[in-house]
Amino acid sequence: MMPGWVKSKWRYFVVAALMIFLVLLPFKWFLGQYTSIMIFIGISTMITVGLCLLMGYTGQVSLGQAAYYGLGAYFSAVLSKTYGWNPWLAMVIAAIATGSFAYIIGYPIFRLRGNYLAMATLGIGLIMWVLFNQLSQYTGGPDGMSGIPYLSIGGFAFDTNFKRYFLVWFFCLAILFLSQNIVRSRTGRALRAIHGNEAAAQSLGINVTQFKVKIFVLSSVYASLAGSLFAHHLRHVSPQSFDFLASVKLVVMAVIGGLASVWGAIFGAGTTRLLSDKLLLGFNQFPQLDIIIYGLILMLVMIFTPEGLFIALKSGIKWLQLNWRHLPEIMRTQGKELPHRIKDRLTRLVPARWWRKAEP
Amino acid sequence: MSGLTQGSIYALIGLGFTIIYSVTQIINFAQGEFVMLGGMLSYILAVKSGLPIPLAILIAILIAAIVGALMYILAIRTARRASVISLIIITIGFAIFIRGIAGNQFGVNAVSPAAFTSGHSIQLGSLDAYIAPQALWIIGITFLVTIALYLFLSHTMVGKALRACAVNPGAARLVGINTKAMALIAFTIAAAIGGIGGVAIAPLTMASYGMGVMLGLKGFVAASIGGFMSPTTTVVGGIMLGIVESLAVGLDWGPFTSAYKDVIALVVLLLILLIRSGKLATAERAG
């Protein structure tokens, strides 16, 4: 039996274990070969958290999140390379510029809801993508631009994957903790109220539009920071990283992570990145497999567990915790019903009268 | 003239959006993929499999329609009581699923099927304007599809039932209309019309596995100019968009060149959404 204080503080143990794991990961004798992909997971997590706040907690769709990611990356790249600014300053300016842009378009955009909001954000994402391609005297056009300087503090340059790993995950964890605090604060409760029922939230004195715009700006700033880190990590940016599929990929990450879950974002970004960068590389003779799988994931998760895969897994684990003593018994009784339940699920796909015999 | 041609295609795609939205209150983000399917399949069937062009076109449209029906049966109907966000994500998932399959099966290169009829461009009277025979086909097909759709909706029992679902789904169910079957029909028709658009536009602008998003978005613009209300307003909206876009072709103003043609459609989209936002918001709340 676990002592009570362990039980009540188990969250801290989980977080501490995660920290130790993350600190040890990039060392050669541990999982050093995953350092590079973990950097990308960290960058993706930062954007996904923003998307979760927006989609999961506030219930607003954004299908153009890659645009703000791209804005951050291009602002950083252009300011630090072409104009020779200090990369840190470029990063801050990029975040401010992206945030201001989001603020300006936020007020008109968030007068829309549901489908129209989704189309509008998709449209803005595509406009940005066309601009990244066409403003070639600044952005280098479809080929992108290379030779972006590394970030550095004093004389200490972040010039290896090992160093950049800690930099990216420092930012990523800072954003995760900040977001968690927001979710648990008055703001977070206001956001959930908006998700639940906008009219009710408004009648309780919550300024609905203002909260939506605020969280939209926050998520765009997250994406911009991620973009800056991305630019200074790869030292090369090109429009392909910020197209429609990139935005969809971010939605996939948020959906896997559980839309309304801050820590699920790591899980979502991690699974998606590992899936596309490690597992599917072996299937070169089967191109586009990653897109097909993303499409399937989006449909299946939304149809069967609309709250997201991570949350479904979590509640599954909780159920096991409560019921593990009775597991054999449950298996015995439920096992008999299982074929029927599967049949029930499947027959939802076909109208009943097509497969069931006509009743006498 | 190119504006009218492009606009006709946008109108066809917009018709698909309008039909599905009015019957089911779902915006189908996969609408552009049916166009892609029509275009790619007509090329694959005609060139790779060597079928005669009319047969290839017919089969391409049929397959697009079947994919539309399957989309409703497998992806939409199984998600009962889904929220708007869930439905958006499901249709997007279906869109990129289809796109991935197409890229995988048909390759990622743009293809250009043969035009319906060969022949040189026709001079318009004594004007200094020429029109490709395919453009005439496109305009004619759009015209025919619109007329056929109008007749179907106003003069057949199924068409009237579809309109009843659009006006008031609850009341439609009360008078014994099977709303689910109607939704299935709406998806099938929308996919078929999308497929027709793809078959018609592919010889003129080429088809590729990734063409769906942009075309889908422009079809949405066409439908939203028309307010998702009736086929005729949607067609007018599509042609308006095509003409506005064609004005941009000669554009050379500072950094803005005709490469920004797509941006114009998107800006039109945003403007329309914002102008109509008050009305759309109330419609969404009521729906």
In 3-state terms, what secondary structure has residue B182? helix
Chain B contact set for A124 (CB, 8 A): 266, 270
pLDDT at A357 over 70: no
pLDDT digits (tens, 9 = 90+) for A38-70: 899 999 999 999 999 998 888 888 898 999 999
Query: Quick one: closest CA in B to A105, which residue?
Result: B270
DSSP assignment of B52-98: -HHHHHHHHHHHHHHHHHHIIIIIITTSTT--HHHHHHHHHHHHHHH
Which range, of A104-113, A123-132, B113-122, B165-174, averages the lowest pLDDT? Answer: B113-122
At B4 the pLDDT is 85
Query: Quick one: pLDDT at residue B278?
Result: 60
Identify the pLDDT of residue A222. 95
Q: What is the 8-class DSSP label of residue B126?
A: T
Q: Write the residue in B73, B94, B270 that is nearest to A299 by C-beta.
A: B94
Q: What pLDDT does residue A352 have?
A: 54
Interface contact B94-A295, CB threshold 8 A: yes
Nearest to B277 among A111, A134, A255 (CB): A111
Ranges of each domain in chain B: 2-116+130-286
Residues of B in Cβ contact (< 8 Å) with A108: 274, 277
Tens digit of each residue's pLDDT, chain B (287 residues): 677 888 898 999 999 998 998 888 888 999 999 999 999 998 888 888 888 888 888 999 999 999 999 999 888 888 767 788 888 899 999 999 999 899 888 877 887 777 777 766 666 666 666 677 888 888 889 999 989 988 998 888 888 888 888 888 888 888 888 888 899 999 999 999 999 999 988 888 888 888 888 888 888 888 888 777 778 888 888 888 888 888 776 666 655 666 677 788 788 888 888 887 666 545 554 44
Q: Which residues from chain B sit within 8 angstroms of residue A297, using beta carbons?
A: 93
Report CB contact under 8 Å: A295, B95: yes
B228 touches chain A (CB under 8 A): no
B94 contacts chain A (CB < 8 A): yes
What is the reported pTM? 0.85
Tell me how far CA of residue A109 lies from CA of A44, B269, B278, in angstroms.
Answer: 25, 12, 12
At A359, the pLDDT band (50, 70, 90 cuts) reads very low
**Per the CB < 8 Å rule, is A306 touching B86?**
yes
Q: For CA atoms A303, A304, A307, A311, give the dihedral sign.
A: negative
Would you call A115 and B284 a contact, using CB atoms and an 8 Å cutoff? yes
Query: Is residue A345 very low, low, confident or very high in pLDDT (cuts 50, 70, 90)?
Result: low
Cross-chain residue pair B217–A130, CB shorter than 8 Å: no
Nearest to B220 among A108, A114, A119 (CB): A119
Which residue in the set A113, A134, A298 is minimally distant from B93, CB to CB? A298
Put simply, the answer to whether A112 touches B73 (Cβ < 8 Å) is: no
Q: A286: exposed, middle or buried (C-beta count within 10 Å: 0-12, 13-18, 19+)?
A: exposed
Asked if B251 is an interface residue toward chain A (Cβ–Cβ < 8 A), one would say: no
* More confident of the two residues A320 and A213: A213
pLDDT at residue number A142 = 84
Q: What pLDDT score does A360 carry? A: 44
Fold exhibited by the domain B2-116+130-286:
ABC transporter involved in vitamin B12 uptake, BtuC (1.10.3470)
Least confident of A167-176, A242-251, B37-46, B244-253: B244-253
Would you state the pLDDT for residue A358? Answer: 46
Taking contacts as CB-CB distances below 8 angstroms, the residues of chain A near B214 are: 126
A-chain residues near B85 (CB < 8 A)? 55, 59, 61, 114, 259
Residue B111: strand pairing partners: B207
Q: Which amino acid is at B86?
A: S
Question: How high is the ipTM of this complex?
Answer: 0.84
Average pLDDT estimate for A65-91:
91
* Residues A139-166, mean pLDDT to the nearest whole number: 84
**A291, closest residue in chain B (CA to CA):** B100
